[in-house]
Chain A
Amino acid sequence: MRTFAFILMLGLLAASCAAPPARTTRLRASDFEVSAAEMAQSLAASEWLAGRTAASEPARVVTNKVENLTTDVITPAEQWMVVARAVSALPITELGRAKNISFQLPPERVADLRAAGFPTELAPEDRATHVMTATFRSSTRLARLASGLTDARKEYYQVEYRLTDVRTRELKWTGLFEFAREARGKLVD
C-alpha cells in the first residue's frame, strides 16, 4: 500500500512538474541549433567538397542574404543569429578546417551580432569566393481539439541554404532543414 501511495505521489509530482503546453509557435533562434550537425553532414557529402582537402585553395563563403518567407515576424537580428549559430557551430568549423573553408558574414552583420552579445568568431566578409543565402519558410496547420474554436496550431519551419560560386555562378550546394513547433490555446484568445 505504501509503495502504491509512493508511486502515485511520484506520478502526481511528475504531472505537476510537466511542462505546460506551449502557447506560441513563434520561431526562436535556438530552434535551429539541431540543424548544425545535419548541415555539416550534408555539406560533407556534397559534390563540391568531395575533392577538397585542407591543402585546397581557400574558399571563403559569405552569407550575404537572409529572407523570411514564413508567416511570422522574425527580426533581422534573429534571422542572422540563426545563420551565425549554424556556420559557427563546431561541426561546421571542423569541416571548414578539414576542407580549407571559412564562413563569413557581411561586416555590418558581424558588428550587429557582437553588439547583440553573440560571441561570434566569424570574420567580416573578405574576398568572397562563394555566397550563401538562407531562406526561412513555414506552413501552418490549425485544428479544433477541445472546443469549437481553433485551439491548436502547428508550424512547420524550414531553412534552406543555397551556396553559389561567385565566379561561375554555379549552384554548389543546397541544404534544407526542418522542424516543427506546436502550441495550444484558442487562437482568438
Chain B
Amino acid sequence: MVVGAGAWCGWRGRGAAALLAGVCGLWTVCVGGCASAPPDARLMRAAAGGDFGAGRLRALENVTDARRDAGDYVLDRLRLGVLALADGEPRAAGRSLDEAYEVLRTQGVNEDKTVASAVLWEGVRTWKGEPFEQAMAFVYVAALHAQEGDWGNVRAAAGNSLFYLRDFGRGRSSADVIREAQRRGDDGLDRGYAAVQSDFALGYLLHGVASRQMGRAEEARDYFRAAVRAQASLQGLAERLESGGDNALFIVDFGLGPEKIATGPDGAIASFRARTESDRAQLAVLVDGRRESFPAAADLNEMSRDLRWNNLEDLRRAKSAIGDVLLLGGAAAGAYGASENKKEVALAGAGAAVAGLLLKAGARADTRHVEVMPQRVYLAPARVGPGQTVTLQVDGRPGSRITLSGLDAARAMQPGSGGLLVRYIRLPVDGRGGDGGGAILYANDATPDPANLGERRLPYILGGNCVRSPTSEALRSYQLAGYLRGMTLGELQELYRAEGIRVYEGFSGGPSPGLHILEGGDSLFVPLPGTAGFSRLFGRVHAPYVPRSEAVRRLAAEIRAGVSAPALLVGDGAGAETPSSALPAGRSPQ
C-alpha cells in the first residue's frame, strides 16, 4: 500500500500520497489495536496437562477487576471457576462461579454499550459468552452444588441452562440469515426465527438427577425423556440415572473446547475451530474390576458450529461493509482535496476515512472465549463400595487416565446427600506425572491414616509424608510414632509459621489457598476428596521438602540422622536428659 502510495505521489503530488499513507497506517494500527487478547496458552497447557493447581493460580491472577460491568468480569471468573473445580478447590470455585452466575442472570448488561460497540469494537461489551458457553457456565454452577449435595440449587442451575434457542432454520448459514435480515431491513435480527426448546441433553440429565434426588420422580422422568429426545444415544444412561441404583455420579470433562477465531473480510466473522477433535470415544469407568462405558452427553465442537448456539456475527459484517464504503470514499476525497489544494475537502475526506477505518477495526469479531472449557462432557454413574477406587479414562486416550481416591472420606463429609456422591472430574488430555493407581501416599486432614503411609508418620516439612494441619491430633500421631516427643502444639505450629506456610482448614470460607507445599507452594490445604486435585496431590510422590528456616532445617537434619535435638530429649525423672531409644532411625521418604 505504501509503495502504491509512493507511485501515486509522483503523479498527483506529495500531499495526496502522504494522506493516503497516513490513512493506511492508521488502519493497520486500528485493526491490530482493537483485536481481542489471544487465548492464554498457559491456562490451556495447565488444563490439558492436568496441572490444575498451577492453572487455578494463573487464572486467579487475572481476576482483578471487581466491577461487574468490566469487560472480562464473567470471562475471568469462569476461567477460574472451571480450573478451581478441576483442582478440587471449592472456595475459589464457589466464589467465582457465584459471581459469574450473578451477572449471567442480570439483564441488559450491555445496554449502555450498544453505541460504543457499534462504533468502536465489539470487545467493549461485557463478555457473557456464546449461548453454549452460558449453558456450560450453568452446568458448572450445578456441578458445584451437586458436590455439596445441594439438589435444589443443582435443579435451579440445570434449569437455567435449558433456555430457549433462536432457530433461523436448519441448514442455514449466518450469511443466509443476514441476507434475509437485510432484505427485511432488520439490523437486530429480531425477527425471522422460531424460539425452540433447548437440545442441551446434559442440562436435561442434570435436572433429572436433581429432581430424582429431591423425590420428584415424575419431574425427573420428564427431564430424562427430554434428554433422550435431544440425544438418542443417552437412552441407556438416562434409564440408569432414573433407576437411582448408584451411589456415585461423576461429571467428567475432557479435552480443550473450540477456539473462537476471527475470519472473513476484516476478521468480521467469528467462527470456531476444534482444538480437541470430536469422536465417539466413550468414557471407561473401572470400579473394583468392573468396567462400564458411557457416551458423551455434550460436544462443544458441535454446539459451537450450530447457529442456534451462537450469537450471530452478521451485524459485524454489515458494519464492515459500511466501513469499506467510508474508507474508499474518504480516502479518495482526501486525496483529491490534497491534490487540488482544497484543504477543507482533504480534511473532510481524511476524517471520513478515519471513521471508516475505525468502523472496520470495530467490525473485527470479538474472539474472547473460555479457552479452558472442555471439548466434551460425560456423566458416569457408579456403585462404589467402601475402600474402592474409581479409574476413569477416555477410550483410546491413555493420557486421560485418572484413578480417584478418598471417596470414603468424601462420602463421610456428606451426610444427607441422599446417598449420591457427586464429583466433578477434569481428565487431562496428556496427563503428566502418571496415574498413581489410587494410592494415598501422604496423610492429610481428610484421610489422616491412609494404609500406604508406612512408618514415616512425620510432617512433610521435617522429611515425613504427613501434610495434615498442625493440630493436637496430628501431633499426638507423630508422638505415638516416636517422633517429636516433648514438642508442644505451639512449637509445632511455630515451625509452620517459620516456613511461611499458611494453613487452610475445611472447604469453605476465607481466602483461596495458593499452591500446595507438596508442589513447592506455601499453602497447606486439602482438595475435595475424590477429585482429580486430591489424587494429583496425594497420589504421587513429590520432591522432598526444602526448608527455608534454620529451625526446620536443623530439626529435619537431626531427625534424618536419628539424633534427638536437646529440646526433644526425654527426661528420665532424675534430672538428667538422655537420648530416647524409641526414636526410629531417620529415613528419607524417597
Contacts and interface: CB of A to CB of B under 8 A. Distances in A.
Interface string A145-186: 001110101000000000000000000000000000001111
A185 B109 contact: yes
Chain A interface extent, by class: 20 to 34
Interface string A46-61: 0000000000000000
A71 B159 contact: yes
Contacts of A97: none
Nearest to B108: A185
Interface residues of B, number: 30
Interface of A is mostly: loop
A76 B150 contact: yes
Interface in B153-176: 153, 155-157, 159-160, 163
B283 interface: no
Interface in A52-80: 67-76
A186 B111 contact: yes
Contact of A69 (B110, B128, B152, B191): B152
Contacts of A188: 131, 311
Contacts of A23: 106-109
A24 interface: yes
B190 A24 contact: no
Contacts of B214: 67, 69
Contacts of A136: 152
Contact of B105 (A26, A149, A189): A26
Contacts of B109: 23, 185, 189
A187 interface: yes
Given A148-B190, A148-B191, A71 B107 contact: no
A187 B160 CA distance: 12
Given A73-B101, A73-B153, A24 B160 contact: no
Contacts of B155: 68-69
A184 B102 contact: no
Contacts of B101: 73
A183 B105 CA distance: 10
A148 B159 CA distance: 24
Contacts of A71: 156, 159-160
B145 interface: yes
Nearest to B189: A148
B102 A185 contact: no
Nearest to B103: A24
B107 A184 contact: yes
Contacts of A187: 107, 163
B141 interface: yes
A185 B141 contact: no
Contacts of A73: 101, 141, 145, 153, 156-157, 160
B188 interface: yes
Contacts of B105: 24-26, 72
Given A151-B108, A189-B111, A68 B152 contact: yes
Contact of B107 (A67, A70, A76, A185): A185
Contacts of B188: 147-149
Centre residue among B109, B141, B186 by max chain A CB count within 10 A: B109
A84 to B, nearest CB: 18
B417 to A, nearest CB: 13
A115 B509 CA distance: 10
B412 to A, nearest CB: 16
A68 B109 CA distance: 26
Nearest to B128: A189
Contacts of A151: 107-108
Nearest to B145: A73
A124 B493 CA distance: 33
Nearest to B190: A148
Interface in A64-106: 67-76
Given A71-B159, A147-B190, A189-B111, A24 B150 contact: no
Contacts of B163: 187
Centre residue among B145, B152, B311 by max chain A CB count within 10 A: B152
B187 to A, nearest CB: 11
Contacts of A24: 102, 105-107
A27 to B, nearest CB: 10
B110 to A, nearest CB: 5
A153 B160 CA distance: 14
Nearest to A136: B152
Pick the 7 closest A-B CB pairs, nearest first: A185-B108, A148-B190, A185-B107, A68-B152, A73-B153, A24-B106, A23-B106
Interface of A: 23-26, 67-76, 115, 136, 147-149, 151, 153, 183-189
Interface of B: 98, 101-102, 105-111, 128, 131, 141, 145, 150, 152-153, 155-157, 159-160, 163, 186, 188, 190-191, 214, 311, 509
Given A147-B190, A186-B107, A187-B107, 15 more contacts: A23-B108, A24-B105, A68-B156, A71-B159, A73-B145, A73-B156, A74-B152, A75-B153, A148-B191, A183-B106, A183-B107, A184-B107, A186-B108, A187-B163, A189-B111
